[in-house]
Amino acid sequence: MSDVPQYDLKNGKPHPYHILTPSVWPLAGAFSAGLLAVTAVLYMHHVQVSDILKSLKDSAIGNFQFGLKGVLLGFAAVLYVMWRWWRDVIKEAVVEKAHSPVTKIGFRYGMALFISSEVMFFVAFFWAFFDSSLYPKEAIGFVWPPKTIHAVEAFDLPFLMTMLLLLSGCTVTWAHHAILEDKREEASKALLLTIFLGAAFTCFQAFEYYHASFKFTENVYSSAFYMATGFHGFHVLVGTIFLIVSYFRNEKGHFTSKSHFGFEAAAWYWHFVDVVWLFLFTAIYWWGNA
């Protein structure tokens, strides 16, 4: 037993494995996510407390209806847990220096698996779109796109949005190479350009939705269109926030040529967003409108 090395379990050193100090955030995250899910379901189904607590049906509490406030409370709880949890992770990386090379390999596997799950998420939307378009049903007159739909022209605004995302993929790669060469100022410039392009894409998509001639619930085409492109737009927004955090971390000197997984994860996510949009543009805007 005397030959067994003694390790500092608090800071995760000097062994290569990432032994964490006890944290309340996984438990808090589960509770906040559950709160968000439950309040969202109750809000969407217009459930009143009186439906749950029959004995309090005639009281003021019993007649209270779950509104949007409950959903916002759950959403705020999720955001708070995310902020505190990721702040602790940054502290582990920057202050405690607890992220060893083996730990970073685990992070990369985790990010790769997360992106794989996101790929399957979008596969479901593509499946629904192709099933509806290749085999049009009687409800839409056996025609695709339905005759009531005035489809968005692929080589109009969507093509501009495609160019914006492709250019943003170039600028985020530029930022990555700048970090690898320890050029902090150059990396910050490239990140700012990427953030600007991502924000511009979001604004153009909002403009497209506002001027679209069809609504979400009009038919299967509109539902598939808004679900696929809308969730992609949400991912662009999340990726833009991811890059904003990376920009401020780079300004604080958190990234070096040998340690910059926080940015690397953001870059992977952004490239995933780019590739998904290419499939969306080709399948939904171009082929799907033919």
CATH number at residue 244: 1.20.120.80
Q: Which one of 64, 81, 98 terminates a domain?
A: 98
Q: How many domains does the chain have?
A: 2
Do residue 113 and residue 89 come from a single domain? no
Question: From residue 216, how far is each of 144, 172, 212, 213, 280 by CA, in Å?
Answer: 17, 33, 10, 10, 17
Sole residue written with tokens 């004995």: 55
Specify the pTM: 0.84
Nearest one of 239, 244, 256, 267 to 173, comparing CA atoms: 267
CATH number at residue 6: 1.10.287.70
pLDDT at 54: 55
Do residue 93 and residue 197 come from a single domain? no
Do residue 140 and residue 281 come from a single domain? yes
Residues 244 and 240: their CA atoms lie apart, in Å, by 6
Local mean pLDDT, 10-residue blocks, the chain (290 residues)? 43 61 90 93 76 51 63 92 92 84 88 96 94 88 87 92 96 96 95 97 96 88 93 96 95 91 95 96 90
